[in-house]
Structure 1
Amino acid sequence: MALDTHGAVRDVRGGGHVGANVLVSIGALLLGLLLAALDQTIVATALPTIVSDLGGLEHLSWVVTAYLLAATAATPLWGKLGDQYGRKRLYQLAIVIFLVGSALCGMAQNMGELIGFRALQGLGGGGLMVLSMAIVGDIVPPRERGKYQGLFGAVFGATSVLGPLLGGLFTEQLSWRWVFYVNLPLGIVALAVIAAALHIPRRTSRHRIDYLGTFLIAAVATCLVLVASLGGTTWPWDSGQIIGLAVLGVVLAVVFVGVERRAAEPVLPLKLFRIRTFSLSAVISFIMGFAMFGAMTYLPTFLQVVHGISPTMSGVHMLPMVIGLLLTSTMSGQIVSRTGRWKMFPVAGTAVTAIGLLLLHKLDEHSSTAEMSLYFFVFGLGLGLVLQVLILIVQNAVSYEDLGVATSGATFFRSIGASFGVAIFGTVFSSRLGDKLTDAFQGVRLPPGVSLGGLEADPRGIGALPAALRPPALHAFSSAITDVFLYAAPVAAVGFVLAWFLKEDPLRGSVTAPDASETIPPNPVQRSSYDEVCRALSLLGTREGRREVYEDITARAGYDLLPAASWLLLRIRRYGSVEPYVLAERSPVPLQTVLAAERQVEERRLVDRQGLDLTLTEAGRVAAERLAAAREDSLSELLGDWWKPGRSTDLTQLVKELTSEMCGATSERPHNGSVRRVS
C-alpha cells in the first residue's frame, strides 16, 4: 500500500484507486440502502399485530402500498435532482426524510396516521435506493464498480431474508413500533459518516427535470390503486367516489401522454412502447410484482392468525419462498449470460408462479409445515425464474440512449404492480372475510363482547370465542386469505401467455445478468445509459474476466503469447518501463506468472532489460500497439450497435477509459514514468 498526495490509500492489488474514505463511505451507503430495502419487507410479519393494536384490518394493505407508491413515484426525481444539485446533499436529505418518517411511524396512534407516515418514509427510502448506487459511480472507477455493486445486490438479497425475521422478532420481543424505531440509530450513524467521509467530485451534467410528468404518473398510479383498494369495501363499485377516481385516473393518463410527447427528458419515453419486447416485458413485470408482494404481504397473516405461529417463526416459515427465489434468480441469470438463450425462463417462470399461487390456494388451517414450506418454495422458484431475466431482455432490446430509462421503466412497472397487488389482495381479503364470517356464524349466538365486526377488525377476537366456535372462525380467515391467491393465479396465467410472444433476439456481448438489487425487491432502479454499460463492462475487471480479455485480444492481434505476456507488454507501453517484481507485488497476477511472461517476451525480443526495468523494443512497440487496438475492437464488439464511434461521446470515452485501465493500469506511477517500489 502507498499514500497518494491526498492521504488516500490506493488498492495496489486491484489496480484501481480505492481510498480509505471511499471504503468508509461505501459502508455508510450500504447501511442507508439496508434501511430502505428492509422497510419493504420488515413490516409484513408485524402487520397482524399492528392491526390488532390500531384497528383497521380493511386498510392493512395500505401500510405496505403507501411506502411502495411513494418510493416508486419519487425515484426519477431523486436521480435527476442528484445530477443537478449534488448527490451528497440529496442523499443526506433522503436520510433525514426517511428517519423523520420512521420516527412518526413508530409514534402513530391510528391506521390513518401510520399510512401517511409510511408514505413520507417511502419518499426518503426511494432516494436512499437510487442515490446510493449512483454515488458508487461517482467515487469508484469503472473497472471496480462491479465488485461494489455486487455488495449492494447482496444487501438487497439479505433484506429479503432478514426482513420477515427481524419484523417478527421486534414485534414479539419488544413492540411493533421498534420495526420503525430501529432505523433511527442506524440512520444517524449513516448520516454522520456520509457527512464526514463522503467526497464526491463535482459533476457538470445538467438535466431538464420532468416534474409534471413525474407528478402525473404518480397521480395516475395513486388513483388506480385507490380504486382497487377502496372499491367494494369502503365504497360500492358503482358509487360516485369510485367512478370519480376512475375517471380522474383516465383523464390524468391522457394528460400524461400529452406531456411526455413534449418533454425534453421524459420520465417514461413513449417511444419505448413501440418496442414489442419492452411493452411485453413491462406488462409481465407488472404481473410478477403484483403476485410477489401481494403474496408476501398476506402469507404472514395466514401463518399468524390461522396457524397461531409467532411473528418471529412466521418469518422463518417464509424462508423457503425466499430460498427458491434466490436459487432460480441466480441460476437463470448465469445460464442466460453463458448461453445467450433466455425465452424459456419467462415462459417457465410465469407458469410456475401460476402453479405456486394455485398451490397456496389449497392451504388451510390443517396444512402441515412441510406442505406449506413446499408450496412457498414452488412459488419462490417461479418468481426467481422470471424477475432477473426481464431486466436483461429489456436492456438488450433498446438503443444505447434509452438503456438507462428502459431499465428503470421495467423496474418501475414491477413496483407499480407490487402496489396494485397489495391493494387488490387487500380488497379481496376484506370482502371475502366479511362474507365468510357471516356464513360461518349465521344463526349462531356470539358471546357477550364479541361481534362479527370486531372479529374482522381484530383477529385476536378469535381467542375470546368458546372452543367450539373457533374452528369456523379460523376457517373463515383461512379461506378468505387463500382465495386471494386463487384470484391472482389467472393474472399470472396472462403473463404466461404474453411470455410466448416475446421475440428472442440474440444477446449483445455486454448484456449480463443484472445484480440482485434489481430483481429481488420491487426496487425502482434509476441509472443512466452510461452507468448501465459501465456496470456490465466492469465485470471484465474480475480475475476470470481479465484472463479471458487477454486471451481474446492476443488472438485478435495475431500473436501466440501467454495472456500475462500481453498484459505485461501493455503495461510497459503505458508507463515506459516496469520492474516485474514490483508489478507482481502490486497486481492480482502471481509472481510466477509474471516471471513466465517476462521470460517469454525476452525470448521473443519484445523487451530490453535496463537494470531491473523492462522497456519495449521496436518489435515490442508494434506488438503492444496491435494489442491495444485489439482491446478497443473487443470492447466495441461487446457493445454492438450501442456504440458507433463519433455518435455517442460518453460511451466512446468509457471505451477509452476501460481500454486504458484494462491494458495498462497499475497502482503507482512515479514521475519518471516507470513502475517502481515505493518505500
Structure 2
Amino acid sequence: MDTNHSTPTYVSPPVVHPFEAKDAIDQVSNTAQLAFDASARTSVTTAGNTHTSNPTPLSFDPSNAPSLSSSSSSFTAAGKEHYDHTTITASAASGFPKPSATTAARNSPTPSDSTTAAAQAAQQQLGQDYGPKSPMSKSRQMVVFLGILMVLFLAALDQSIVTTALPSISKDFNNFSEISWVGTGFLLTMTAIQPLYGVAADLAGRKRTMMFANAVFFVGSALCGAAQSMNMLIIGRAIQGIGGSGILTLSLILVADIVPLRNRGKYQSLTAFVYALASVFGPLLGGVFSDNVTWRWAFYINLPVGAVGMVLLVVFLHMNRPKNMSLKTAMRGLDYAGIGLLIGSIIMILLGLNWGADAKYKWDSAVILSLLIVGVLVMAAFFFNEWKVAANPIIPLRLLGTLSLGMTYFPVFVDGFVSMGLLFFLPLYSQAVHGASAIESGVELLPYVCMSSAVAIVVGQLASRWGTYKEFIIVGWIAGVLSTGLMVLFDENTSRGRMAGILLVQGVSLGAVVNTQLLAVHAQLKNPADMALATSLWTLLRTFGGVFGVALGGTLVQSSLSTANASKYAQDIKGIADLSPELQEPVLKAFVEGLQKIFILLAAFSGAALLASFFIEKVAMDGSGNVDDDNVGQGDVQELEDTRQRQPVEKLNDSPHPLSTV
C-alpha cells in the first residue's frame, strides 16, 4: 500500500446567505477600490520633501486573502493585519486589473517579486493612506455620513441664519454702526483660513482636524449666544468662521477618503443637498428664533445638534493617521511665508470689497483703493512664493499646472459667484417687488433649492454609474446661461409663477455642476496625495466667488439707487414695499435696474464657464484611465487585461476567498 498519497476527501463549501454574500462582496469591492486609490498615493519620506511619482503596484496572493465571517461580514484580526501590508485587488468584485509580475518587479524598490518584497512595498506605499483604518460596513458608513451631514448643515446654516436676526441683534445692543461686522467677521475668517485645512488634514490626519474644527465652531457658537456686547458677538462670529471653514472643507475630504472616486458622486450629492437646504432655511430659522424666542438661539442651536453629529464621528469614524513624519518635522517644513501672504491678501481684498459694497467708503476713496491694490500685490507675492520659494507650498501651482485643471477651477469660482449672488439678491427682489416677508422670500426660493437638490442626487447616481462628469458640467452651464439670461427680464411686474419657472431651470444648473466639478478636479489629479490640498482650493475658490458676487452685486444696486437719490433703501429693501405709490415707483424702478445689471453679469460669467467646460479633460473614474503610458508598455497593458479576463465573478465561489468562513 502506498502511504505517500492520502485519499482526497470532499469538503463541502461554506453556506453563505445571499444577502450576507452581497454585503461582503460590496465591502470587499469598496475596500479594493480604496486600496487601489491608496496604492496610487505618493509616498512621503520622513523629511517630507521626497515624493515618488510612480507608486509600486501591489501584488495579491489569494491564499493569504483576509477572511470574512459569514455571520458578521467583518474582517478578522489576521485579515486586517494582512490588509495593512497588501492591497486587496479583488478583481472579481471590483473589476480592477491585477498588476502583472513584470510590472511589479520593475517598479518595486528591489528586483525581487516575492511575497515578502511585495508586502514591504505595500506597507511603504500605504504608509500615508488617510482612509479608514478598516473596511466600513454599509451601516457604519451611513452613521458616519449622518454625522458629517449634521455638522455640515450647521456650518452652512451659519452663513445665512443671521441675516434675518440682525435687526433684533442691533436693537438689543443699541449698536447699528457695527452690525455689518457680524457677517463680515464670519466671512473673513472662513475664507482666509480655508486653504490651511488642506495642509492640516495631511499633517494631523482627517479625523483630528475635523474634531478641532468642530470644537472651534462650538466655542464660537457659545460665545455668540452668550454675548453681552456687539464686540463679543463679532469675536464669536470670527471664531465660528474659523471652525465652519474647516467643517466645510473636511466634510468633502472625508467623503473623498471614504468613498472610491467612481461612487463618490452619490455621497457628494447629499452634501450639496444639505448645503442647499441650509442656505434657504437659514433666513427662515433666523426669523423664527428672533420673532418667537430670541436671536441667541440662532447660535445656541448649534450646540445640541452639533454635539450629536460630533459624537457619531468620534465613535464610528476611525481614520488612519499620518506616518513616517513627526509633528516637529512637519511643523518645521510648513510654508509660513505663504500662509501669512495668503491670509493677508484675502483679508485686504475682502475688506475692500465689503466696505465698497456697503458704501462705508466710496470706491475711489484712498481706503478702498489701498486695500484692493495692496491686496492684489500681496496675492502676487504669494503666488511667486509658491512658485519659486516654498519647499512645501500650501497651494502647489501644479494644481493649476494644466489647461484642463485651470478650466475646471474657473467654473468653480463662477458657481460660487452665481449661486451666492442669487441666494442673496433674489430674496431682496421678493421683498421689494412682491412685498414678501423674510420668511416668504425664503419660501419663494424653494423651487430653486428643491430642483437643485433633486438634480444633484440624480446626477450623482448617473455619474457613478456611467463613470463620467464632463457632460453633466456642460449641460449644467447651458441651463445656467439660459436661466440667468431669462432673469434679465425680471421687472416690477414679474409674477411669482414666472419667477418660480426660471428658478427651476437655474436649479438644474446648480445641481448638475456642484458635485461634478469636484469630481473633475479629483479625477484629473496626477498625484492623488494632492487630494486634500485640491479640495481646500476648490472650497476657497467657490467661497471667494460667492464673496465677489455679493460684493459686485451690492455695488450695482447701491449705484442704481444712488442715481435715484434713494441710497438709504439699499439697507432697507423691505421699506420699498411700504412707500406710497408716487414715491415707490422711481425707487422700485432703480432697484430693479440694479438687479438687472447683476443678472447680466451672472449670465456673462455663466457663458464664460460654459466655454471653459469644453476644455475640461475627460478622465475615467474607475482607475482604467490612470495607466502611466510612459512607464507601462503595451505588453503590460495587454497582460493586465488578460488578468482581468481570467478572473470572472464566478471565481468568488472558489476557496479560499473573502467569503470563506473561519
Normalised by the length of structure 2, the TM-score is 0.65
1:499 aligns with 2:625: no
Question: What residue is the counterpart of 1:486 in the other structure?
Answer: 600
What is the CA–CA distance in structure 1 between the aligned matches of 2:549 and 2:287, rounded to whole Å? 25
Structure 2 CA distance for partners of 1:264 and 1:52, relative to 1, 3 Å:
same
Give distance in 1, aligned partners of 2:267 and 2:372: 42
Aligned to 1:458: 572
Q: How does 1:157-196 map to 2 (within 5 A)?
A: 157-165=273-281, 167-172=283-288, 173-174=291-292, 175-191=294-310
User: Alpha-carbon deviation of 1:301?
Assistant: 2.1
| Aligned residues of 1:57 and 1:458 also touching (Cα < 8 A) | no
The answer on whether the counterparts of 1:65 and 1:423 sit within 8 Å (CA) in structure 2 is no
What letter is aligned with 1:164? V
Within 2, Cα distance between the matches of 1:478 and 1:57? 26
Cα 1:379–1:256 change in 2 (3 A) is same
Residue of structure 1 in register with 2:561 after alignment = 433
Q: In structure 2, what is the Cα distance between the partners aligned to 1:21 and 1:345?
A: 30
8 Å Cα contact 1:349/1:384 also seen in 2: yes
Which runs of structure 2 are paired with 1:33-182 in the superposition (5 Å)? Answer: 33-43=152-162, 66-85=185-204, 89-106=208-225, 117-132=236-251, 153-165=269-281, 167-172=283-288, 173-174=291-292, 175-182=294-301
Cα offsets for 1:227-279 (capped at 9, x unmatched): 33333733333322222113312321232123213323212111333300111
1:248 aligns with 374
- The reply to whether residue 12 of structure 1 matches residue 72 of structure 2 is yes
Aligned equivalent of 1:675: 661
Match of 1:297 among 400, 405, 424: 424
Distance 1:507 1:201, change over 3 A: closer
Q: Is the CA contact (8 Å cut-off) linking 2:431 and 2:573 kept in structure 1?
A: no
Q: Which amino acid aligns with 1:675?
A: T
Equivalent residue letter for 1:316: V
Determine helix, strand or coil for the equivalent of 1:509.
coil
Q: Which of 530, 534, 537 is the equivalent residue of 1:409?
A: 537
Cα offsets for 1:43-83 (capped at 9, x unmatched): 56667877898899999987656545533432343343355
Which of 491, 494, 510 pairs up with 2:623?
Answer: 510
Cα gap change, 1:199 to 1:241, in 2 (>3 Å): same
Tell me the CA shift for residue 168 of structure 1: 1.0
Q: 1:80 to 1:347 in 2, by over 3 A?
A: closer
Task: Count residues with an aligned counterpart.
Answer: 511
Match of 1:556 among 636, 644, 660: 644
Which residue of the partner structure matches residue 652 of structure 2? 567
Question: Does structure 2 retain, via aligned residues, the 8 Å contact 1:391–1:407?
Answer: yes
1:276 aligns with 2:359: no
State the SS of the aligned residue for 2:564. helix
Aligned partner letter, 1:428: L
Instruction: Read off the aligned partner of 1:371 and give its amino acid letter.
Output: R
Return the letter of the residue paired with 1:573.
P
Give the counterpart letter for 2:345 in structure 1: V
Measure the CA separation in 1 of the matches of 2:139 and 2:510.
39
| 1:463 positional shift | 6.8
Deviations 1:507-541 (A, max 9, x none): 353399xxxxxxxxxxxxxxxx9xxxxxxxxxxxx
SS of the residue 2:515 aligns to? helix
Q: CA deviation at 1:157?
A: 0.9
Conserved in 1, the CA contact under 8 Å of 2:256 and 2:264?
no
* Aligned: 1:386 with 2:513: yes
Residue 506 of structure 1 deviates from its aligned partner by 4.8
Q: Which amino acid aligns with 1:154?
A: L
Alpha carbons of 1:134 and 1:363: their partners in 2 closer, same or farther (altered >3 Å)? closer
Question: Among residues 26, 32, 41, which one is paired with 2:151 in the alignment?
Answer: 32
Equivalent residue number for residue 235 of structure 1: 361
Would the alpha carbon gap of residues 81 and 47 (structure 1) be closer, same or farther in structure 2, given more than 3 Å must change? same
1:174-221 C-alpha deviation (Å, 9 max, x unpaired): 354433231122234445666677666654254443343233223223
Separation of aligned partners in 2, 1:170 and 1:511 = 48
Question: Which range moved further: 111-120 or 36-45?
Answer: 111-120
Q: 2:7 aligns to what?
A: none
Which range is displaced more, 190-199 or 216-225?
190-199
2:188, 2:238 within 8 Å by CA — same for their partners in 1?
yes
Which SS does the other structure have where 2:644 is aligned?
helix
1:675, 1:573 → 2: CA distance?
Answer: 9
| Residues 592-671 of structure 1: pairs in structure 2 closer than 5 A | 664=658, 666=659
Letter in 1 for 2:606: A
Q: Does residue 421 of the first structure (1) align with residue 481 of the second (2)?
A: no
- The answer (yes or no) to whether the contact 1:230–1:427 under 8 Å persists in 2 is no
Q: Does the alignment pair 1:226 with 2:351? A: yes
Contact preservation (8 Å) 1:78, 1:131: yes
For residue 399 of structure 1, report the CA deviation from its aligned partner. 0.9
The match for 1:214 is 339
